[in-house]
Amino acid sequence: MDKKAALAKAEHYCAYQERSQYEIRNKLYEWGLKTAEVEELISELIVTNFLNEERFAKVYVSGKFNIKKWGKIKIKQSLKIKQVPDKMITKALNTIDSGDYLQTLLELAEKKAKLITETDAYKKKYKLITYLMGKGFENNLISEVLKDNNLP
């Protein structure tokens, strides 16, 4: 694939959905481009604003929190895998409203608590905490929400 065709394809790829530099870089290598060409195309995509890491991080955080109901820990790990810089991850995570965050945690806890059939209170609480930690919520917040709302 020549550079011009690759640029057009990469622009379309970025326009369809926000992408990280890591995702674009991998895709360009997948298309058979050489390192110098890949870096040149990434620079071009950044200049034309098809590729914006900060915008990607904010959209990613918003989607994972609002749609998937992920906690900050899971979102942060996922962004690290996509090689987004720590500063941008922190900035994007700060866009989550703390009230919404706690409300989401409470809703997930209440919903899951109803589904757990365990009769032993200790085991039920353990299963609930494990579930919420798996969703990426912080242990101290989980404990606080469960205690404040008299959940298992």
Long-range CB contacts for residues 106-111, cutoff 8 Å, separation at least 24:
106/145, 106/149, 108/69, 108/132, 108/135, 108/137, 109/142, 109/145, 109/146, 109/149, 109/151, 110/149, 110/151
What global pTM score does this model have? 0.90
- CA triplet 76, 78, 84: central angle to 5 degrees? 75
pLDDT of residue 118 exceeding 90: no
pLDDT of residue 109: 94
Q: What is the pLDDT of residues 45-97, one digit of tens each?
A: 999 999 999 999 999 999 999 999 999 999 999 999 999 999 999 999 999 99
Integer Cα distance of 59 and 62 in angstroms: 5
Give the rounded percent of residues in the chain with a pLDDT score beyond 90.
92
pLDDT of residue 34: 92
pLDDT of residue 82: 95
Which among 42, 37, 6 has a CA at the least distance from the CA of 23? 42
User: Does residue 120 sit in helix, strand or coil?
Assistant: coil
